[in-house]
Amino acid sequence: MRPGECNKHGQELLEKVDLPSRSHPYARLWRMRCTTCDSVHECNSCDAHLRRCPFCQHGQPPEPLPEGIPGLVPGTQAQSTTRVRRRAAVQRPSTELPEPPVVRRGDSQATCFDAYIMVDWSATNGALGTDPVPNAPWVAEAWWNGCQLDWWPQRGYFRTRRLCINHLLERLRNHVKEKRRVLSCFDFAYGYPTGYGRALGLGGQAFWTSIWGEISVPTALQGMPVPPPQNEYASANNRNNRFEVASHLNHRVNLGGQPRAGPLYGCPAQNQTPFFTQASPGFPYAIGPGGALGHFRVTDQRLLDRGHHPLCCWWVLGGRAPVVGGQILTGIPAVKEIRNHPEFSKISKVWPFETGFTPSPSAGGTPCIIHAEIWPGIVNDQLQDGLIRDEAQVRAMVKWAASQDAESNFGVRFAVPEGLDDGQVSRCRHEEGWILGSG
């Protein structure tokens, strides 16, 4: 392997440190970057071609470093400075924009949507700086102006989740005023593996909406005098209490029995409770008599089968690696707020929960807003140069959606996925959801 190349598991070789390996007598020390979660770790040169990420792919622990080398720190410690150094050369000033991709449609081309909004969410705790940085809320947006796709002319970087939500509400007002059909997407799971709603003690057939409600406004535990935490998903200072919410949800799953951690996991040591710990509880996770929660949803497994590496929704914090569980706990309340906003509630639907699997998700008329889940990993080979990765991903997702729509290929992405039986379709329709574009 040469620097810049990736192995089959998406691990990119950053540099050959040119020091002896401590785990292999004939190997050298190499530094790798995971293209899925952006974490940095060391390995020996003999297993680099087979290396999996130790943070998001359950790979082997990072290679131990030689002792006594001044200035040499592990990748997990060097990660923040390494990422800043790698991106500093390509990060543009906040007032400068790259040329947007050019997308056109035919003069009489009918599309499913008139506007596309893609959001890269963040569970970062605390307000961010004024200069754009990774792991922040990022938004990309474009809409059809005749045959040409027009792009929102500003960089979509936001210091807090609240500022991002307010921006989205304002942009949706504009599109609704123009009577546009809008596709609005966030990059985290909109559902959990089948059985989670029942494990939480929630009723109804449409478990997705009950789960959304419990995450957004946690309810009191039966027989417990302590009030439930209030989900601080979009505070003015960008602080959040996702670990407290996760512990509460785990307590609800295990209510009435001996304290047991899981199914949500991953937190700093100081946030651990008997119900919520750093370590994975292991999956399948037993619930009730004969029941178990799976590690992945049907749609996640579809991506895994195709060689991608989506993260499981149970993982709330992964050391220095960004993981999706925390985004879900802060993001679902945000989507729920937008979906149920008084100005939009009558024209909004969540795919596939409310629309069903259909090739015509926007057929209900104009204006309309369709909310859908995305996974930007499907466009990692289409990212623009000169951008922070999060920004490049949401822009690439807008281009992908608009291009598919312009070629009359987009409707099939919303239809029943190939290869699913009736039971799987029902699971995805009522509880698990589906990633747009996962096949």
pLDDT band at 173 (very low <50, low <70, confident <90, very high): very high
Residue 257, Cα to own-chain centre: how many angstroms? 32
Q: Are 127 and 238 in contact (CB under 8 A)?
A: yes
Instruction: Decide: 323 and 37 in contact? Cβ < 8 Å.
Output: yes
Model confidence at 91: pLDDT above 60: no
What are residue 33's phi and psi, to 5 degrees? -125, 130
Alpha carbon distance, N-terminus to C-terminus of the chain: 31
Q: What is the pLDDT of residue 103?
A: 86
Query: Residue 14 CB: number of other CB atoms within 10 A?
Result: 18
| pLDDT above 70 as % of the chain | 90
Q: Is the pLDDT of residue 78 over 60?
A: no
pLDDT over 50 at 259, yes or no: yes
Report phi then psi at 271, rounded to 5. Answer: -100, 5
Kindly tell me the burial class for residue 4, based on how many C-beta atoms sit within 10 Å of its own C-beta (0-12, 13-18, 19 or more): exposed
Residue 79 pLDDT exceeds 80? no
| 331 pLDDT more than 60 | yes
Residue 373, pLDDT > 60, answer yes
- 367 pLDDT exceeds 90? yes
Band the pLDDT of 205: cuts 50, 70, 90. Answer: low
Cis peptide before 74 (omega within 30 of 0): no
- 153-166: per-residue pLDDT in tens? 999 999 999 999 99
How far CA 260 is from CA of 219, 242, 247, 253, 281, in Å, comes to 20, 19, 11, 9, 9
Query: For residue 26, what pLDDT is reported?
Result: 82
pTM of the model: 0.79
Average pLDDT, the chain: 88
In the numeric block, the tokens 């596709």 are attached to 183
**Integer Cα distance of 234 and 160 in angstroms:** 8
Average pLDDT over residues 91-98: 50
> What would the mean pLDDT of 63-87 be, rounded to a whole number?
48
Sheet holding 40-44, edge to edge: 11-20, 28-34, 40-44
